[in-house]
Amino acid sequence: MYNQEDLQQERWRQINTLKIFNDNVSQVTDNAEYKVDFSSGPNKFSLNVILTPDFPMVRPILKISPSINHLWVNASGDEIINAPGLLNFTRHSDLGRVVQAVIRELQRRPPLITSHVPNNVPSYNNYVPTSLTYQNHPPYPHQSYVPQSRTDSSLPDLSGLSLSELKLLDENEEYLDAYVKSLPNIQQLENVIDSLISTNESLANENLEKENKLKELTQETKEKVELLTELQCTHEMKNHQYDQLVERYSPHNIRERLLKTVNIHEEESERIADNFLDNKIDLDTFLGTYIDKRVVTHRLRAKEERLSFQLEALEKASY
């Protein structure tokens, strides 16, 4: 059994989905009734979403105003009863999506407004849920979708025509066409068609106006793609140079270069000493060049030994 607190939380969640998935939602009665205004063709409609005390254990009541002719409404034309999402509604459904599907259906197929005003229709506008007591209701039974057929059996005002006028309707196609076009339902249908044509023309004009902007954005995108390609090439080249420099100035390579330089200076200092012993250079020249070479060699060897010690310490620390 569901407790009252859980069902109240679920009720508020359902109300939030109504506001999330639909525009123009206004509150009629807090926690009990909400109104969604929308347009379909040239007409404006209001869909009242009524939540009974047992909601969401039972499905909501959807009232449409003004009354319409549609397969999803009842015989009075003022209540949605055959919408698939409504027929299959459970506490795990999203109220907002159910209402959104109903509105989209009515906008895709603009309904005809009926002149019939239902009598004795119960009103929930004054309902205020002071205490919501929930019971563990069985799941709402799924109903089969059965379209209702509510076609009038006769044309309006046809009974008021004289025999000669009826005969004229039967024999004269132009007179019949004029009579049919004067019917309210046909006029409403023509208004819907005119509205759709106007909407299509407006969309076509908007598309034409946006064509130049689209071309500009396409060219701008192309230029940015070319710039991106160029930057990628530059990045790859710089990255290759970076890898070379990293390898060149790695500690191991620096140590090898220091050791090589030390060996070169030692060989040069030995050659200077041999030249002095062979009397190829005098004492002053020997002292000036030999001592300088030995000092440089000593400094380089000290650096090489210190770097080798540091590298060995790092290698030991890594194990």
> Which residue bears the tokens 């969604």?
36
User: DSSP state, 256?
Assistant: H
User: DSSP state, 73?
Assistant: B
What is the C-alpha to C-alpha distance for residues 281 and 290, in angstroms, rounded to an integer?
Answer: 11
What is the C-alpha to C-alpha distance for residues 303 and 215, in angstroms, rounded to an integer?
Answer: 65
- By the 8 A CB rule, do 106 and 70 touch? yes
Provide the pLDDT for residue 157. Answer: 62
**In whole angstroms, how far apart are CA 11 and each of 31, 89, 109?**
8, 14, 31
- Pair of tokens at residue 309: 């010690």
Task: Reply yes or no on whether the pLDDT at 188 is more than 80.
Answer: no
Provide the pLDDT for residue 304. Answer: 85
- Pair of tokens at residue 98: 């159910």
What integer best gives the mean pLDDT of the chain?
81
Q: What angle do CA 214, 197, 35 make, to 5 degrees?
A: 90
- By the 8 A CB rule, do 7 and 134 touch? yes
Strand ordering across the sheet containing 33-40: 25-29, 33-40, 43-50, 61-65, 79-80
Structure confidence by residue, pLDDT tens digits, 156-179: 566 667 787 787 778 888 777 777
What share of the chain has pLDDT > 90, as a percent? 25
Which band of pLDDT confidence, cut at 50, 70 and 90, is reported for residue 58?
Answer: very high
Structure confidence by residue, pLDDT tens digits, 228-276: 989 999 999 999 999 888 888 888 888 888 888 889 988 888 888 888 8
Q: Quickly list DSSP for 107-175.
A: HHSPPEEP----SS----TT---SS-----PPPPPP----------SS-TTGGGS-HHHHHHHHH-HHH
- By the 8 A CB rule, do 125 and 50 touch? no
What is the C-alpha to C-alpha distance for residues 186 and 147, in angstroms, rounded to an integer?
Answer: 22
What is the C-alpha to C-alpha distance for residues 64 and 35, in angstroms, rounded to an integer?
Answer: 10
Lowest mean pLDDT among 85-99, 117-131, 146-160, 176-190: 117-131
Question: Counting runs of H as helices and runs of E as strands, what totals does the chain give?
Answer: 8, 7
Q: In a 3-state reduction of DSSP, which class is residue 277?
A: helix
> Which residue bears the tokens 């509205």?
195
Does 3.10.180.10 match the CATH number of domain 4-113?
Answer: no
Nearest Cα residue to 31 out of 102, 130, 136: 130
Strands (E) across the chain are located at: 25-29, 33-40, 43-50, 61-65, 68-69, 79-80, 112-113
Task: Reply yes or no on whether the pLDDT at 97 is more than 70.
Answer: yes
Per-domain boundaries in the chain: 4-113, 158-205, 249-318
- Pair of tokens at residue 19: 């506001």
Q: Which residues of 157-194 are buried (b: 16+ CB within 10 A; e: fewer)?
A: eeeeeeeeeeeebeeeeeeeeebeeeeebeebeeebee
